[in-house]
A and B are shown apart, each in its own frame.
Chain A
Amino acid sequence: MIWSGATFDVPTGSFAAVIGPNGAGKSTLINLLLGGLKPASGTVEVLGSPAETGNPRIGLVPQNRSLDHAGSILCRDLVALGLVGTRWGIGLRGPDLAAEVDDVLTAVDAQDYAHLRFGEVSGGQQKRISIAQALITKPDMLLLDEPLAGLDLSGQVDIVELVHHINHDRGVTVLFVTHDLNPLLAHIDSLVYLIDGTPRFGNVDDVVDSGLLTRLYGTPVQVTRTADGCVFTRTE
């Protein structure tokens, strides 16, 4: 058992970060929401209905894809698969489909490199393509699994800004799994934090606190409030 006694609701339209140390069960939480895992007891409801696989209302942005498998195909084909990859038959290039692919590519500003192979574009560009793929089913919720891993600072900021706009402009609820909270602090409104074997939910002001984060990460953390938000740093 990873954790128990989890009871929390994430309000529709939130931009929530999901934080917790390694092994705390962040992947388990994602799998529960996706319906790939069933809870030993209790219920998981997503967007008003029980969690089940194949829900097009949830867009998943997976952790770094294996380029062994995805590297050889075109970015726009990977995006198209998000829509037609669940259907029988062949073909990734119908005119209607192309229009839908172009729509989401524009939304993530990825038109310029969508004709390249997924393995040929940078890590940040791969994330944008993954977000475009997740958006193509017009989801009500976006689940991002460690989207900042492996990105440099400006790449991290770009992705957070992009997700902020998706959340703000489209009203998409966002659950953003991350190790590093700092790039997110300006935009998130709430957090799901996995602490002492239990996931909890709280507002930014309550959770981003030196004492709580120190307990969460098991290492001394100092939260400093600044004029436009706050930063937290590890202290000795």
Chain B
Amino acid sequence: MFIATLVNSTQTQTGLSLLTSPFMINALIAGTLIAIASGAIGYFVLLRDLPFATHAVAHIGFPGATLAVLVGATPVVGLVAACAAGGIAIGAMGHRARNREVVTGTVLAFATGLGLLFNSLGSAQSGLLTNLLFGNILAITTAQVVAFTAIVLVVLVVLAATGRKLLFASVDPDVAAARGVNTRALSAMFLLAMSLIIAISVTVVGVLLIFALLVTPAATAIRLTARPTLVIAIASGIALVSVWGGLIVATYQPWPPSFVITTIACVAWIALPQLMKLRGPVAAPDVVTHIASS
């Protein structure tokens, strides 16, 4: 229904025929790639205590996208560039600055204000603001799918190659550094990878709902299991079900996919640990610290 309204098709398209339409296939491919990458990145976001930084990076991407429109470029290009710059800047600020909530919050607010300015100066594309803030997975183009595929593959290969070093540097930074692991380079690399995945996730759930893909699935998974690869697999699985669920529901109901995606992620976060409790011990939120409760 939502999709049928969106495409404003002359023929009434519903159900299965919509699921095989070109923009739907783009949405499914991009959504799948982004969900898988979000699960992997999300686990390290939690271990490295960066949930708030994900929010900041997404907000920094916002003026990038509206500025791109202002100068006649594609918004996604500006989004990716600004997010990457934001991630590099957070890395350059170093460990101490990263968790200063006031600094992060101030930059976040400033970036959002700037994004609003660029948007009002530009020849406001209809729906651009809503798409950026809340995402629109159905607006993903074929060219974007190609670019996103490349980004996700590079990020996943880098994570697989550095997995153990990154895990060591994330959970045990002092010992890792003493053992010769280049924790600074890994930190910079991770922030860049994280920012790229945030940028492309913004196209799905938007700046404001980024938590639902980058943080919530991993926060759910980390309570269900402690094994790193399993946490990543479950987090990616939850993100995947959320995205696919959002797309499928949107073909039948007049609801935007972003709403369904965030709802599924949130319900999983509440319900899955409760269901697991019936079967055995689940880590209490205080064990995984503020990770699961934030």
Which residues of chain A have a CB within 8 Å of any CB of chain B?
Answer: 34, 36, 53-56, 58, 60, 62, 65, 67-74, 77-78, 81-82, 84-92, 117, 119-120, 133-134
Which residues of chain B have a CB within 8 Å of any CB of chain A?
Answer: 46-49, 160-165, 167-181, 222, 226-229, 283, 286-291
Residues of A within 8 A of B160 (CB): 89-90
Q: List 11 A-B contacts (CB under 8 A).
A: A60-B174, A69-B171, A69-B173, A72-B287, A72-B288, A72-B291, A77-B227, A81-B171, A86-B179, A88-B165, A119-B286
Partner of B164, one of A53, A67, A89, A120: A89
Task: Say whether A70 contacts B165, CB under 8 Å.
Answer: no
With both beta carbons as reference points, the residue of chain A lying nearest to B99 in the complex is identified as A68
A-B contact count (CB 8 A): 118
Q: Given A73-B228, A85-B181, are A133 and B175 neighbors across the interface (CB < 8 Å)? A: yes
Task: Say whether B165 contacts A82, CB under 8 Å.
Answer: no
Please give the distance in Å from B229's CB to the nearest CB on chain A: 7
Residues of A within 8 A of B49 (CB): 68-69
* Bound-complex Cα distance A68 to B180 (A): 22
Residues of B within 8 A of A65 (CB): 172, 174
Residues of A within 8 A of B47 (CB): 69, 72
Task: Say whether B165 contacts A119, CB under 8 Å.
Answer: no
Q: Give the top 8 A-B pairs by smallest Cβ distance, nearest first.
A: A54-B180, A85-B168, A90-B163, A72-B288, A70-B171, A119-B287, A81-B168, A34-B178
Residues of A within 8 A of B176 (CB): 81, 85-86
* Bound-complex Cα distance A74 to B171 (A): 11
Residues of B within 8 A of A62 (CB): 172, 174-175
Q: Given A60-B178, A69-B172, A70-B171, are A90 and B164 neighbors across the interface (CB < 8 Å)? A: yes
Partner of B289, one of A68, A82, A84, A88: A68
Please give the distance in Å from B224's CB to the nearest CB on chain A: 11
* Bound-complex Cα distance A71 to B223 (A): 12
Residues of A within 8 A of B291 (CB): 68, 72
* Bound-complex Cα distance A86 to B175 (A): 10
* Bound-complex Cα distance A65 to B228 (A): 19
Task: Say whether A117 contacts B164, CB under 8 Å.
Answer: no
Please give the distance in Å from B95's CB to the nearest CB on chain A: 12
Task: Say whether A72 contacts B168, CB under 8 Å.
Answer: no
Partner of B287, one of A36, A81, A91, A120: A120
Task: Say whether A68 contacts B165, CB under 8 Å.
Answer: no
